[in-house]
């Protein structure tokens, strides 16, 4: 019987994502100046105020206020009427030194035996229903908001957009799990107050359907474009006007959008947030590692979709266990438990090995903090920190290394494919 599945995304201007981006900008600066830094920093944003808190062990000195203001400015909170503005908001730092009790469980004389920064379980997921091996509903939800942000920055076709926005996509699937059509699209976007409420909302709805949707469709393959029929139900700013938004409309906190960050509700999530954590925290590094495993398994043809779980004890290098579920889509003559044992042979899941394999001791995290940590483009870029100052530093880094299909041949060999 056909069924519906829904995923949501939020924009870079959503208050929780503002907090995530500030936390990850701090991580990047710590990594740029001291790659050995141990960091767990949280951010709270509200009307005219930013609060930074957390634990750090580092040799680097940072101007955390200027870093936070730079992030807010880049997102687009640059006008006083937003009630949260880069140059005028107050910033309080309550960052202190990391607990020595935690640190002694992580660091080892032999770096390869580095212990996990915490206990817990992490999940990775991949499916072949999109080119980037991500669930389709989430992929479309992200695309809607990245294109909406592009329209906002261009300020030509649509000139009233503000930074805060959310999207949601509901897709109808067939009995054999194939997408048939898009059932519903929900978009709520913050906007300027520019006239009569009825006329204003009608214009916003018309612009998003007739300008935004075609731009998103044009990025897709013909097979996916066909999902956009004239039977889609659109809910555009369904509560009415959305002038008050961002941190003034709703307090934001680091780590509150973990499903948006991962797979949109497909697969599973271990509960640990990513942003604001250095890679010794397996909440982050092992989630990237399991995504890397899942994507390479599907790309190699082991299965059509897969969920990979790994779990750790704090201070212990070797994982407690590895679990794999192919949801009946396996293409090899093995039970899922046997596939899991093969995964342990192919991929070293000790925290230090993950850091080295995925190059996680680099300033690569700001780019992850909006529009999802998974399914993104792997590329090499040069990043500049403290531009124009004596402490300026240029660093060439590889982004989204966990999206590489560099283990496909090894997986094929191991599974005789």
Classify residue 127 as exposed, middle or buried by CB count within 10 Å of its CB (0-12, 13-18, 19+): buried
If we measure between CA atoms, which residue out of 221, 125, 132, 226 comes closest to residue 172? 226
Report CA torsion sign: 44, 45, 51, 56: positive
Beta strands in 79-147 (DSSP E): 90-97, 120-127
Give me 195's structure tokens: 């006239």
If we measure between CA atoms, which residue out of 31, 80, 131 comes closest to residue 361? 31
49 membership: H or E segment, kind and range: strand 49-57
If we measure between CA atoms, which residue out of 55, 49, 61 comes closest to residue 91? 49
Residue 256 annotated in ligand binding: yes
Mapping DSSP to helix (H, G, I), strand (E, B) and coil, where does residue 67 land?
helix
| Pairing of β 321-325 and β 305-312 | antiparallel
Residue 164 annotated in ligand binding: yes
Residue 345 annotated in ligand binding: no
What phi, psi does 7 have (nearest 5°)? Answer: -135, 155
Residue 383 annotated in ligand binding: no
Residue 294 annotated in ligand binding: no
Residue 403 annotated in ligand binding: no
User: Per DSSP, what are the bridge partners of residue 173?
Assistant: 3, 179
**Whole-angstrom distance, CA of residue 259 vs CA of residue 138:** 10
Residue 16 annotated in ligand binding: yes
Beta strands in 98-160 (DSSP E): 120-127
Residue 217: CB partners within 8 Å, gap ≥ 6?
Answer: 225, 228
The C-alpha angle 138, 140, 141, rounded to 5 degrees, equals 60
Residue 60 annotated in ligand binding: no
**Whole-angstrom distance, CA of residue 385 vs CA of residue 363:** 10
**Whole-angstrom distance, CA of residue 248 vs CA of residue 170:** 29
Contact assessment for residue 142 and residue 371, using Cβ atoms and an 8 Å cutoff: yes
If we measure between CA atoms, which residue out of 360, 175, 354, 138 comes closest to residue 257? 138
Residue 340 annotated in ligand binding: no
Residue 65 annotated in ligand binding: no
Residue 81 annotated in ligand binding: no
Residue 166 annotated in ligand binding: yes
Binding residue numbers for Mg(2+): 16
**Which residues fall in the annotated binding site for L-methionine?**
55, 98, 250, 281
Q: Give the residue numbers of the binding site.
A: 14, 16, 42, 55, 98, 164-166, 241-242, 250, 256-257, 273, 277, 281
Q: Which residues are annotated as a binding site for ATP?
A: 14, 164-166, 241-242, 250, 256-257, 273, 277
Could you list the residues known to form a binding site for K(+), using ranges.
42
């Amino acid at each position: 019987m056909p069924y519906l599945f829904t995923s949501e995304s939020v924009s870079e201007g959503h208050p929780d994502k503002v907090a995530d981006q500030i936390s990850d900008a701090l991580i990047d600066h710590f990594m740029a100046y001291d790659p050995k830094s141990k960091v767990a920093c949280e951010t709270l944003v509200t009307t005219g105020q930013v609060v930074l808190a957390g634990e750090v062990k580092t040799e680097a000195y940072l101007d955390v206020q200027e870093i936070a203001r730079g992030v807010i400015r880049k997102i687009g909170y640059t006008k006083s009427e937003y009630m949260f503005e880069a140059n005028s908001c107050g910033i309080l730092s309550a960052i202190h030194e990391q607990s020595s009790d935690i640190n002694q469980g992580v660091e080892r004389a032999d770096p390869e035996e580095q212990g996990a920064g915490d206990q817990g379980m992490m999940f990775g997921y991949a499916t072949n229903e999109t080119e980037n091996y991500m669930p389709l509903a989430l992929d479309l939800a992200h695309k809607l908001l990245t294109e909406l942000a592009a329209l906002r920055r261009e300020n030509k076709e649509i000139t009233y957009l503000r930074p805060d926005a959310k999207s949601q996509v509901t897709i109808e699937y067939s009995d054999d799990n194939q997408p048939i059509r898009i059932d519903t699209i929900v978009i709520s976007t913050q906007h300027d107050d520019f006239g009569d409420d009825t006329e204003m909302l009608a214009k916003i709805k018309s612009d998003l359907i007739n300008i935004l949707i075609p731009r998103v469709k044009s990025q897709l393959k013909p097979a996916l474009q066909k999902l956009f029929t004239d039977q889609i139900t659109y809910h555009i700013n369904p509560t009415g006007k959305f002038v008050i938004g961002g941190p003034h409309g709703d307090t934001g906190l680091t780590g509150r959008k973990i499903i948006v960050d991962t797979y949109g509700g497909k697969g599973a999530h271990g509960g640990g947030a990513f942003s604001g954590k250095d890679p010794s925290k397996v909440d982050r590094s092992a989630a990237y590692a399991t995504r890397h495993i899942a994507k390479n398994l599907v790309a190699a043809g082991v299965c059509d979709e897969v969920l990979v779980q790994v779990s750790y004890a704090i201070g212990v290098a070797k994982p407690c266990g590895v679990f794999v579920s192919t949801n009946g889509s396996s293409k090899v003559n093995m039970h899922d438990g046997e596939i899991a044992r093969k995964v342990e042979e192919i991929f070293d899941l000790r925290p230090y090995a993950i850091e080295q394999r995925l190059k996680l001791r680099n300033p690569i995290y700001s780019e992850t903090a909006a529009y999802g940590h998974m399914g993104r483009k792997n590329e090499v870029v040069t990043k500049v920190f403290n531009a124009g100052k004596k402490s300026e530093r240029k660093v060439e880094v590889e982004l989204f290394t966990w999206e590489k299909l560099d283990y496909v041949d090894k997986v094929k060999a191991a599974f005789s494919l």
